[in-house]
Amino acid sequence: MFCPTCGNNLPANAAFCSQCGSATLSANTPTPTQTYQTPPSNYQQPNYPPPSSQGIGYFDVLKKYCVFRGRARRKEFWMFTLVQSIINFVTSLLGNIFIAMGEGDQASLIIGAIIMALSTLFVFATLLPNLGVFVRRLHDTGRSGWWWICLVPFVGPIVLLVFLVQDSQPQANQYGPNPKI
């Protein structure tokens, strides 16, 4: 018998390794030379659902650049919104820092202006994916994508927020099958 940690040759009845002090494998634990028993013939493998083919990452939303059909899970929508918010916050912060430092330094002012311009360009470049995932999220709750027009001051954003945090409709709806399944 060998120590599983250091490989030291041990007596057959040793409980601990004399060299490193780690516990040895018990008699019930299979060693590399032992094999596990095969399951009985009436054993049924658990029926796990297949992995979802729909991604939930930031780039998965960007791949659906102008897709307004179908449904988007809560996780897909909120992860995309989180990453968008972080990118916008960081680029705006960096741009403002460089602009603030640029009062006496022309180079910092130019760098800050370039960062702010790139930040604005990024916002416009991701406007359609943002709107697309927003509409697909509304579809997932069983509502038309035209609800985004509900941006009436004060009440509209609250209504939309309530719609966006609701769980998916468990069954297929007019916009497609449930993306969780």
The pLDDT tens digits of the residues spanning 119-162 come to 999 999 999 999 998 888 888 888 887 777 766 667 777 877 88
Gap between the terminal Cα atoms of the chain: 48
Q: State the DSSP code for 105.
A: -
In a domain, 125, yes or no: yes
To the nearest whole percent, how much of the chain has pLDDT over 90? 17
Domain that holds residue 93: 58-165
Please tell me which residue, 56 or 172, carries the higher pLDDT value: 172
Cβ proximity of 140 and 175 under 8 Å: yes
In a domain, 84, yes or no: yes
In a domain, 173, yes or no: no
Euclidean distance between CA atoms 155 and 143, whole angstroms = 17
In a domain, 35, yes or no: no
Torsion angles phi and psi, residue 173, rounded to 5: -125, -170
| pLDDT value, residue 51 | 42
Closest-CA residue to 136 (of 58, 51, 64): 64
| pLDDT value, residue 125 | 92
Euclidean distance between CA atoms 10 and 166, whole angstroms = 60
pTM: 0.60
Domain count within the chain: 2
Q: Is 66 helix (H, G, I), strand (E, B) or coil?
A: coil
Euclidean distance between CA atoms 88 and 81, whole angstroms = 10
Euclidean distance between CA atoms 175 and 180, whole angstroms = 14
Residues 97 and 136 in one domain: yes
In a domain, 140, yes or no: yes
Q: Which residue has the tokens 């659906």?
A: 64
Mean pLDDT (the chain) is 78
